[in-house]
Structure 1
Amino acid sequence: MQTIHAQILATGDELTTGTLVDSNSAYMAEQLEMMGVSVRRHVTVGDDMDDLVRALKDIGEQADVALVTGGLGPTMDDLSAEAAAKAAGVDLELDEEALAWIEALFKSVGRNLGRNLGESNRKQAYFPQGSVRLDNPVGTAPGFSLTIGKCRFFFMPGVPREMKRMLTDQVIPRIEEMLEDVTISGMRTICTYGMPEARVGELVEDVADGEPGMKLGLRASFPVIQVKIYARAESKMGVERILDDGTDKILDRLKNNVFSVGGRNMEEVVGLMLKDEKATLAVAESCTGGQIAHWLTSVPGSSEYFVMSAVTYANTAKETMLNVSRKTLMRFGAVHEETVKAMAEGARQIAKTTYGISTSGVAGPAGGNEEKPVGTVCIALATPDDTFVYRFHSPFGERDRNIKIFAMNALDVLRRHLQGLPPPSWAREYKP
């Protein structure tokens, strides 16, 4: 089966100097891989005409498709259109429709900002001869598509919001037309939590053996490990069969560590289960500082099940806001199973919810001791029938990573309870 190979080119001195992080390339690569397009290389080039022309010619000899971002603005260092024309051996020409659009935009918006259309803005309406304009409904810089060598290039703005809109509306449909002449493709993302990336890789490394149309990929999105199944076949039914076969094998290998087979994140999965159960949730956080509540409330519609969050960092807050007894705090301290048990139960009782979850631990980098080293966290889940309490230990000494691990552990405890699964094997259940 023929495969379309792609490369991604990001332009701009702000990228080569590290002033800005190139999030565009990661987003575009993911979208291409989801379509079944193989991304072979990422290239970053500064605002230098010779370097840009050389990069465009090089990619034009190697790739079938190329996505380029940046360099479409009005300033002197926006060189993409001119560089593309030089690489293709053609001249720039004025696109009257693009100029009319830019003029109309400045009349409606520029006046309010005290700006007038200048000659530098007219530059944005010039494109290489033979190119196809890609309209930009959310910005002033149109994009364009052009063939250089054997490769079809798509030039888009560097502003992420504008790039994503153009990619979705105009670039992806054109690439899909190219794919129709090749093969049908598909992709499925399986999300796992609880095992390191190396172990996940060992367990699934031979899943694609004997399947010429299947390819696997791993992506670490801390603290989640994603297993991506890429399928190519002569028909949509063939693609679905490959994806289903791969999914079945991966589920058999990774078992309860899989929390999603459709790319949903943990908070979405937990939210859907709470909604299906018509259950509600309250959260009491100490060491996680609101991370759990932030994740849960980032999901649209979470108001149906999420009721309350209390970030009770100080012991006095645990006592006054969650009704944790002073006796418990004095005897056991903030980081202890008895304390988080009282926190979860207090949150559930105060908010009158179905469930309550709580965290208290040592995120680091300081504050640990021999009994409770950095990375220690206690987590409690209060249910209508009982309260389950666990102690975990994270191997990381970094505060940010520990906070994410602690928060994900808490959500995973809730997820497993809602699914009727046992707690993770690396959790130590507390039995007073």
Structure 2
Amino acid sequence: MRATQWMGKYRVEVNEVPDPQILNDRDAIVQVSSTAICGSDLHLFDGFIPTMRRGDILGHEFMGEVVEVGRGVGNLRVGDRVVVPFPIACGNCSACRRGFFSVCENSNPNAGIAEKFMGHSPCGIFGYSHMMGGIPGGQAEYVRVPFADVGPLKVDSDHTDEQLLFLTDVFPTGYLGAEHCEIRPGDVIAVWGMGAVGQFAVASAKMLGAERIIAIDRFDYRLAKAREAGATDVLDYEEVDVTEALKEMTAGRGPDGCIDAVGMEAHHPTTAVHAYDRAKQATMSETERPHALREAITSVANGGTVSIIGVYGGLMDKFPIGSLMNRSITVRTGQTPVQKYIRPLYERIRNGDIDPSFVVSHTMPLTKAPKAYRMFRDKKDGANKIVLKP
């Protein structure tokens, strides 16, 4: 089969690789009909996530048709159309029983590597480094799905792939970011980063009843998508001081909730600050560029909530712990336990509350994955969300 492989920093290739095989009774094999490039895949492409190996198959957002099931998979049949969550979860451990599927205790075969970096291991993740299990991803013609009796959601044929594909990750992740803020009537929510996750955070904040939603980015086409998703206001951080603008827009209080949908490769218009963090990151003195997170913490209202859904990998410098502690700010974060949210959000789609396909800007064959990665990273041709078709 053909698959997108990581071949080193700034380099991916589509090559012929062996077809996946059933390895466990709880496995299934899915023939991929659609897959997507996630913003967090760019952290792999740009070489910021450790423990990647040449030839690793990428991709954690995919859906398709079940073509084979293990003997222990009683919920799926050959021919079922399924959407597959990016976290791999056993459904039986203490974490899974409490709904924390993204920190499943049994799905990461390389838990020891993650423990050295993080203290404890999160779950296994498709196509996202050997620290997260070294599990082949879904930017391929076929994929092995472990614990298939827990993760995949059977879906109907009444919706297109583009309407359902983002249940795998970015829609639930955006929703989690908004839910973290415990939105009440009249609340003001600010969202940093208008990639697809940020756009879904905006849409979700609207669904949850926020009165005012402020989207922050520097690209006009992404800010336009944010308005389409439900943003009442937009800020170009290259044109305004975001913290001061947010104070002015909220009578000096700041937003009730701030959502960081940017993560480790944040950009900042202040040359000195950006240069400092780029230099620290390049020398591995820190692994993150935390401009957006610093700004979210210093901008949120006293007693407010900062929700972190952008991906971070390790250590950051100049973290504003004084602001966080002294102003009674709540921080909520985590990789999304997609299995917890996938069914209710699927019902939102079926009920017509949202059509997630609004984020799609390009559809390309899988063979064009190297071009798609470069387009997406460089924000060329309005690349907002790229769907690949095997």
Do they fold alike, i.e. is TM over 0.5? no
Please give the TM-score of this superposition, normalised by the length of structure 2.
0.31
Which has the larger Rg? 1
Structure showing the higher helix proportion among its residues: 1
TM-score normalised by length of structure 1? 0.29
